[in-house]
Structure 1
């Protein structure tokens, strides 16, 4: 074999190896590119899925927050209606005419069982209603020896009985407040069902 044949053979073998190496390199490059594309697609799907989950979570939080605000607004409105109901009841009590007030006074003193020496206090506007005749009727109804005491402040209505240093408060505000807890369930039921 001549040098030229040997050289041609080496060159030919080198070209074959070069073609083989290039083909393998192209295959590796394609595999790498395909792998990276698949990885990117998988990442894309993961990112989209994660974004959708976050969006759903955020949407649910917004809905829950809105529902909570609505519930709180409803509760506030219900509370306002209930407070207005109690205010209406208080105003109705404060507007009792003379006969109604005296009946309230007599029934309360009788039913509460006030006895002994006591001082009856009413506001200035009602003070004139408590005559000696009224005090005599109260004594016969309850067995209490009541005397008319100092007037209540004008913004208070109803009455207070002072007995042995103890005040028994029958002002309309005190009565409404004491009944509020007991009646709130019934009032809520009547107003909102």
Structure 2
């Protein structure tokens, strides 16, 4: 029986040693897996941080670009508003030209063909009738500035607003150069 007890003890000791080796081997495997997981986690973390930094930089650049674009658009709108006011003020100035300049303008531009009808400003009606007695002048229709000549059913528009609109595209660039040089 002593031999059975010794055999049992020896088997238990060997089982303990074997179990300890299995546990040590498992612990080593666990350490290796944990180390590998830590490295993968760090690599993933670094990659995510790098990607986030790159996206943040791209977003920052897009925001800067959008801000510059918006500033340029605002500046352009402000310049267009100034140019618009220049044309409006120019129109107001020519609407208030003196009588002699208006008569000269009509004399230079009207054809005074037979049967033509002049449409003028209401407050200049008597002046135009007096200066151009050979012409027919409308007493029913009026313009804000300048004049319109109707001949053979065709209207030739010489109002100052129309004349300014006609040259506006041509001289806008020049006005911008003068104003914003």
What is the TM-score of this pair, normalised by structure 1? 0.82
Root mean square deviation, CA, Å: 2.2
Aligned position for 1:89: 90
CA contact (8 A) 1:124 1:153 kept: yes
Q: Tell me the CA shift for residue 35 of structure 1.
A: 1.3
CA contact (8 A) 2:120 2:147 kept: yes
CA contact (8 A) 1:121 1:159 kept: yes
- Runs of 5+ in structure 1 lacking a partner? 137-144
Equivalent of residue 148 in structure 1, options 115, 137, 140: 137
1:120 maps to 2:107: no
Residues 132-151 of structure 1 show CA distances to partners (whole Å, capped at 9, x for unaligned) of 4x326xxxxxxxx6322235
Q: Tell me the CA shift for residue 114 of structure 1.
A: 5.6
1:99 maps to 2:100: yes
C-alpha distance in structure 2 between counterparts of 1:47 and 1:97, whole Å: 76
Q: Greater CA deviation, 2-11 or 23-32?
A: 2-11
1:129 maps to 2:118: no
C-alpha distance in structure 2 between counterparts of 1:114 and 1:20, whole Å: 122
CA contact (8 A) 1:120 1:159 kept: yes
What is the TM-score of this pair, normalised by structure 2? 0.87
1:168 maps to 2:153: no
Q: How does 1:1-193 map to 2 (within 5 A)?
A: 2-109=3-110, 115-132=113-130, 134-135=131-132, 146-150=135-139, 152-153=141-142, 156-193=144-181
- Runs of 5+ in structure 2 lacking a partner? none
Q: Greater CA deviation, 5-14 or 81-90?
A: 5-14
Secondary structure in 1 aligned to 2:156? strand
Q: Tell me the CA shift for residue 28 of structure 1.
A: 0.5
